[in-house]
Amino acid sequence: MRLLKSLVLAAALIAGPALAQHALAQQPAPAAKPVDPQNTLVIELKSGKVLIALRPDIAPKHVERVKQLAKEKFYDGIVWHRVIAGFMAQSGDPTGTGRGGSKYGNVKAEFTPTPFERGTVGAARSQSPDSANSQFFICFTHTPFLNGNYTVWGKVIDGMQHVDQIAKGEPPENPDKIVKAYILADAQAAPAGAAPGAAQKK
């Protein structure tokens, strides 16, 4: 079967660009990876929802912390305090200064070779590798200088256009906020009219 497809493509290439494009168009598109509600963080912004696929396979402790904070509605109403065009948007500090965090202890670094690309979500930290807590950032573009130096715990899989619209500045003059953040599975389990994150009572 593979040989037949190769021959079809080769013949199309010989026949001309138009036939080649037609042959390529007939190839099945790769199947989209199914969304895992238990490991999908939803961040609602004023312009729409952002879906982030969490990565417990590479950063289990960071994902555990993010889930815990999301379930506690910690991120609801927190501003994007540092947003640099062409670099990243940072949030997760309840003080809005870039120096705050949650009531829990810091999380040890879980550095991996996973590259920082457009939509990659990383744990913000100070100079100490093990100082990540609640703050995080979403990259606007490919940022290889971060590779191996910051923990990757997620990737935007939908709604990146809303991240692009977050007000820029360090801090922004009129910072945008996270309207609310929650785990997708919690929203799916909540009864109609209930706030996301509230589990359905039996």
Q: Are residues 25 and 73 in the same domain?
A: no
Residue 184 has which token pair? 């997708």
In a domain, 78, yes or no: yes
Please report where in the chains the tokens 């070779």 appear, as a residue. 113
End-to-end C-alpha distance for the chain, whole angstroms: 52
List the pLDDT tens digit at each of the 202 positions of the chain: 444 444 434 444 444 444 445 444 555 555 567 899 999 999 999 999 999 999 999 999 999 999 999 999 999 999 999 999 999 999 999 999 999 999 999 999 999 999 999 999 999 999 999 999 999 999 999 999 999 999 999 999 999 999 999 999 999 999 999 999 999 999 988 665 555 544 433 3
SS3 label, residue 45: strand
Edge-to-edge order in the sheet of strand 180-183: 82-84, 88-91, 136-139, 120-123, 152-158, 48-54, 40-45, 180-183
Q: Are residues 26 and 97 in the same domain?
A: no
pLDDT of residue 7: 40
Give the angle subtended at the CA of 85 by the CAs of 141 and 118, to the nearest 5°: 15
Q: Are residues 6 and 85 in the same domain?
A: no
Q: Are residues 41 and 137 in the same domain?
A: yes
Q: Which domain holds residue 130?
A: 37-189
In a domain, 200, yes or no: no
pLDDT of residue 195: 52
In a domain, 202, yes or no: no
Q: Are residues 27 and 115 in the same domain?
A: no
pLDDT of residue 50: 98
Q: Are residues 109 and 131 in the same domain?
A: yes
d(CA 88, CA 177): 15
Q: Are residues 24 and 52 in the same domain?
A: no
Question: DSSP class of residue 150?
Answer: S
pLDDT of residue 189: 81
In a domain, 198, yes or no: no
Among candidates 174, 187, 162, which has minimal Cα distance to 81?
174
Q: Are residues 101 and 156 in the same domain?
A: yes
| Cβ pair 91, 81 in contact under 8 A | yes
Q: Are residues 24 and 114 in the same domain?
A: no
Total of domains in the chain: 2
CATH value at residue 74: 2.40.100.10
Q: Are strands 40-45 and 180-183 parallel, antiparallel or unpaired?
A: antiparallel
pLDDT of residue 193: 57
Q: Are residues 10 and 50 in the same domain?
A: no
Q: Are residues 7 and 63 in the same domain?
A: no
| Cβ pair 153, 49 in contact under 8 A | no
pLDDT of residue 93: 98
| Cβ pair 168, 84 in contact under 8 A | yes
In a domain, 170, yes or no: yes
Q: Are residues 96 and 114 in the same domain?
A: yes
pLDDT of residue 192: 58
